[in-house]
Structure 1
Amino acid sequence: MNTLTWLLKREYWEHKGSFLRAPVILAIVMVAVTVLTVGFGIGSSDSPFRRLLTGTLQGQALVPGALKGVADVLAMLSLVGTLPLLLMLTATTFFYCLGALYDERRDRSILFWKSLPLSDTHTVLSKAITVTIVAPLIVIGVSTATSVLLVLFAGVIAALNGVNVFGALLTNPIILLAPLRALGMLPVYLIWALPTVGWLLMVSAWARSKVFLWAVGVPVIALVLVKWIAYVLGAGHAALTLMETVVARILFGLVPGSWLGGEASAMDGRGGQITIERVSSLLSESWTSLATPGVWVGAVAGMAMLYAAIRLRRFRDEG
């Protein structure tokens, strides 16, 4: 356990710029741009934020129940505003997995690490845990802080325009429960990401060069071939559907919320529409997505590919 903990620290310090500094810088930029845009645009009658605040007033009196509506809208906007952080998480973890085992062979540092009493199993597992647990936890923390800052700045701007929404905002369940819901979805994210993490690490341990082309090109070409065969023969639609599912699982499993685009979101016909009710039910929908057998088949396949990555790292140490 101490060895694995040390390896996790090593991965964090070696990639601190990607996992911590980049999200923090992006969050600062988003908050600054949002504050400047809203702050300077509030004076315009066409400003959406000004129209939102104007709708809460009748003369100088507050419209009954309007503050809760404003708080809900601002809370939703603060959550939506963190989406760029999730996109950055996807890109960062994807390319981290591609280079995790390939780069150490390319620069020959694998010879140094293998001279230490570190097993291939611990090394590969540390990289998988970094991608599926450590990096998401960092982004959850940064996104939570970003949402709080966005809400506070929105409350200050609203107060300067005669509307005090701090009480409604600071007691809004969307804001208060967002971090807990994100943490509750982390196990679901781990299970859904296993096929992608396993595939990318396996390719990273195997490919001699052009890791990205091997990792993305092979499944895409396989999908194109299956589509072509299905088109020529006029049959094989079941195989095509299966192939599309496989390619989606091994290429897009690191996208947070990718499971909500499938069976879970189709159950009630709401699709991807963002509403207060939908945000409140995201956690239950996420766990419901684990009820399908295909999820667990993919997770087992991901673990098998992780084992293959461990074996490949053990015997493939050329530069």
Structure 2
Amino acid sequence: MKAFTALVHREFIEHRGAFLIGPLLLVAVLFGATILAFTVGRVDARFSGALFTVAPLRVYELGFLFFGLGWSLYMISVLFFYCADGFAADKRNNAMLFWKSMPVTDFKVLLSKLVAGITVLPGTVYAVALLSGLLLYGVAYVTMLINGTATVATLGSIVVIYGQVALAILVAIVCGLLWYLPMMALVGAVATAIGRWAIPISLLVPALVSTLEWVTLGGLHPFETHTWRFVEYRGALPATPYIESWSVSAESFNGVAFASDLIAHMDWTQVGIGAVFAIFVIYVASEYRRRVNDN
């Protein structure tokens, strides 16, 4: 267990630039630009404060939710590049012989990369998302102080909203990781064999299968097949009707209601099948890695 934990920690150390340092620098730049905008008069503090008095909770809810959405998209996109790079890193930097000398199987090494990709690395991005929410709150409240409209009640209400949105972001990230797990595992498995070009090759595989189905079974075109409809289905998270109903209402955002709605609309059978598929392709990749390096 200690060896596996060390392997996961290694992945964090090697990729902390994309999952921790880079996001922190981006937050620092955005926060610095915001402070500078107020300092040099690019933003009217009185107008901004007045805006927060009109609908302070809704403004903060939308701002924090958009931050959460942005960081979630960043995390998912970077994770695919991580799988393409991380699973081929040992072969590229000539560290393969070192890891072969360790009492760790190829399957455990590759599994540690996948585990790091769905736990530690997303956890750092989520922490940065929470930090973004705190900084957004700070800017909003200071603006209201400047305008003379800040109240203790508003402070308490925004703290509650922060917790609700933080819960929603966490559940959305977890569900997204589970939903896209087989895709990430496929990219990682392909990267074990061909390296960094794993992403385009992994996208080409379903296109080829869909084309083969079109040629053999017929249809309007290769993108109007059962295979392609399944790819489109697995390519997007399940819809959450709560967001649509909340966006046209005056109610405060409810993270518990959003989480319950998202969990209820998840196809957990597909999630289970995807998890089995992920373990299978990682095992196949580990066997390929073991046999190629033994030869």
* TM-score > 0.5 by shorter chain: yes
Contact map agreement 2:68 2:129 (CA 8 A) in 1: yes
- Alpha-carbon distance in structure 2 between the residues aligned to 1:84 and 1:233: 38
With the length of structure 2 as denominator, give the TM-score of the two structures. 0.82
Closer/same/farther in 2, CA of residues 11 and 268 from structure 1, 3 Å limit:
closer
Larger displacement relative to structure 2 (83-92 or 207-216)? 207-216
Residues 99-154 of structure 1: per-residue CA shift (max 9 Å, x gap) = 22223223321111111112212211211111111111111111111111111111
> Aligned pair 1:282/2:255, yes or no?
no
- Alpha-carbon distance in structure 1 between the residues aligned to 2:189 and 2:92: 16
- Alpha-carbon distance in structure 2 between the residues aligned to 1:14 and 1:268: 39
Residues 255-291 of structure 1: per-residue CA shift (max 9 Å, x gap) = xxx42xx3x42x5793996876666332112211334
Corresponding position of 2:24: 24
CA deviation after TM superposition for structure 1 residue 52, in Å: 1.6
Aligned-pair identity (%)? 24
- Alpha-carbon distance in structure 1 between the residues aligned to 2:176 and 2:152: 33
Larger displacement relative to structure 2 (120-129 or 169-178)? 169-178
Corresponding position of 1:210: 197
Residues 42-93 of structure 1: per-residue CA shift (max 9 Å, x gap) = 4389x6x35524xx4xxxxxxxxx5xx3133223213313433223212321
Closer/same/farther in 2, CA of residues 80 and 186 from structure 1, 3 Å limit:
closer
> Aligned pair 1:143/2:129, yes or no?
yes
Contact map agreement 1:101 1:313 (CA 8 A) in 2: no
**Structure 1: which 5+ runs fail to align?**
57-65, 253-257
Corresponding position of 1:308: 284
Corresponding position of 1:59: none
Closer/same/farther in 2, CA of residues 148 and 165 from structure 1, 3 Å limit:
farther
Corresponding position of 2:176: 189
Contact map agreement 2:189 2:281 (CA 8 A) in 1: yes
**Structure 2: which 5+ runs fail to align?**
none
With the length of structure 1 as denominator, give the TM-score of the two structures. 0.77
> Aligned pair 1:297/2:273, yes or no?
yes
Residues 225-269 of structure 1: per-residue CA shift (max 9 Å, x gap) = 656888x644999x72442323663xx5xxxxx42xx3x42x579
- Alpha-carbon distance in structure 2 between the residues aligned to 1:137 and 1:180: 13
Corresponding position of 2:231: 246
Larger displacement relative to structure 2 (88-97 or 30-39)? 30-39
- Alpha-carbon distance in structure 2 between the residues aligned to 1:292 and 1:90: 20
Corresponding position of 2:97: 111
- Alpha-carbon distance in structure 1 between the residues aligned to 2:294 and 2:281: 20
Aligned counterpart for 1:102 among listed residues 70, 80, 88: 88
- Alpha-carbon distance in structure 2 between the residues aligned to 1:312 and 1:35: 53
Coordinate RMSD, CA, aligned: 3.4
- Alpha-carbon distance in structure 2 between the residues aligned to 1:274 and 1:229: 47
- Alpha-carbon distance in structure 2 between the residues aligned to 1:77 and 1:156: 16
